[in-house]
């Protein structure tokens, strides 16, 4: 009942339909987050490996090793997420313009990642700081990817 009056069958069915639509959309968001996270594991491995190699073996400073690792990982992330996670939104097509937009949006994740590494590395080993930074940047990266880069765009009306 709404406002003390019983709902009609039509209103009940419309209400049920809206609730099912909302549940399906929430499910889709969760599935995208899981896919993004799974791809993120691959990218985190790339990021961590390049960072560790550059920092520990080549002796490069954090402010060089970390952005290099990020650029390589974000490029892989764009390709995999365009083809898998956000395939419907991207049409499974790789475009330079979309890559630039993706990379620009992910720069927020890079800033969060680098600041986390710099701050946390003051208290623990750099590799531990890097792991925590990957977690922080996941939240930023997924949010920007889902709500900015790969958001569904309204199709223009055919005129």
Query: How does pLDDT run across 121-149, given as a tens digit for each residue?
Result: 999 998 899 888 888 887 888 888 878 88
Q: What percentage of the chain reaches a pLDDT higher than 70?
A: 81
| Contacting residues for 150 by C-beta, under 8 A, at least 6 apart | 81, 85, 86, 89, 90
According to the model, what pLDDT value does residue 44 have? 84
> Where do runs of H (alpha helix) occur along the chain?
9-52, 62-80, 87-90, 96-120, 126-144
pLDDT of residue 135: 83
pTM: 0.64
- Torsion angles phi and psi, residue 106, rounded to 5: -70, -10
Alpha carbons 144 and 86: distance in angstroms, whole number: 13
């Amino acid at each position: 009942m709404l406002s003390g009056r019983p709902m009609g069958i039509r209103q009940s069915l419309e209400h049920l339909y809206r609730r099912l639509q909302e549940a399906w959309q929430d499910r889709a968001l969760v599935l995208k987050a899981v896919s993004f996270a799974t791809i993120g594991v691959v990218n985190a491995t790339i990021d961590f490996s390049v960072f560790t190699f550059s920092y520990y073996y080549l002796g490069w400073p954090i402010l060089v090793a970390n952005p290099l690792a990020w650029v390589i990982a974000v490029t892989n992330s764009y390709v995999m997420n365009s083809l898998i996670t956000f395939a419907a939104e991207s049409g499974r097509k790789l475009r330079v313009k979309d890559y630039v937009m993706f990379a620009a949006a992910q720069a927020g994740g890079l800033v969060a990642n680098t600041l986390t590494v710099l701050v946390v590395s003051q208290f623990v080993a750099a590799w531990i700081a890097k792991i925590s930074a990957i977690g922080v940047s996941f939240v930023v990266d997924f949010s920007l990817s889902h709500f900015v880069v790969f958001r569904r765009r309204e199709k223009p009306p055919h005129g």
